[in-house]
Amino acid sequence: METKLYPSRIDLSGEVRRSVVTLLNQTLAATIDLKTQVKQAHWNVKGINFYSLHQLFDEIAGELEDYIDTIAERITALGGLALGTAEIVAHTSLLSAYPLDIVSGTEHLVALADRFATYAQHIREAIAKTDELGDADTSDLYTEISRAIDKRLWFLEAHLHPSDA
């Protein structure tokens, strides 16, 4: 789909804005997908650590929801159209499909950690790309997301570390 731009007085060229909006829409799709995958884990986790994981997954989903809104608003601030429907997300997300047959906490933690690692890599690449394009504000937005995603990946992986007890 061609990236249409609406007029804007932002002092970035149309070419730069178009490139950034395209990248942000890729991120928007992946972020929406990641949030729904975290909710899938939240709803279906079972086992001894159910309560703590259920809460953790819901907290992470809430943070992702905030990033979804921030990313979509940045797209529209640049004169773009935020593309966040389920159909768009299903066709454009860079994440692997979430396994629908898992229930154990460990299985959900592994599945989410794998997807958070993929997403974190995309975000870091987007930091570099938007910096290269001269859009410091979007690069900063990506940097903010990167720090939070790395922290959440750490939280997920910490649950997978063998106990010393």
In tens, the pLDDT along 64-92 reads 999 999 999 999 999 999 999 999 999 99
When the pLDDT of each residue in the chain is averaged and rounded to a whole number, the result is 95
CA–CA distance, 73 with 56 (Å, rounded to integer): 26
pLDDT at 65: 98
Q: Which of 17, 25, 30 is nearest to 1 (CA)?
A: 25
pLDDT at 164: 56
pLDDT at 103: 94
Find the angle CA(45)-CA(157)-CA(92) to the nearest 5 degrees.
Answer: 70
Find the angle CA(151)-CA(154)-CA(160) to the nearest 5 degrees.
Answer: 155
pLDDT at 161: 86
pLDDT at 3: 78
> Is the pLDDT assigned to residue 2 strictly greater than 90?
no
Q: pLDDT for 143-154, tens place per residue?
A: 999 999 999 999
Q: What is the mean pLDDT of residues 52-60?
A: 97
pTM of the model: 0.95
> Is the pLDDT assigned to residue 42 strictly greater than 70?
yes
Q: What is the mean pLDDT of residues 16-35?
A: 98
pLDDT at 1: 60
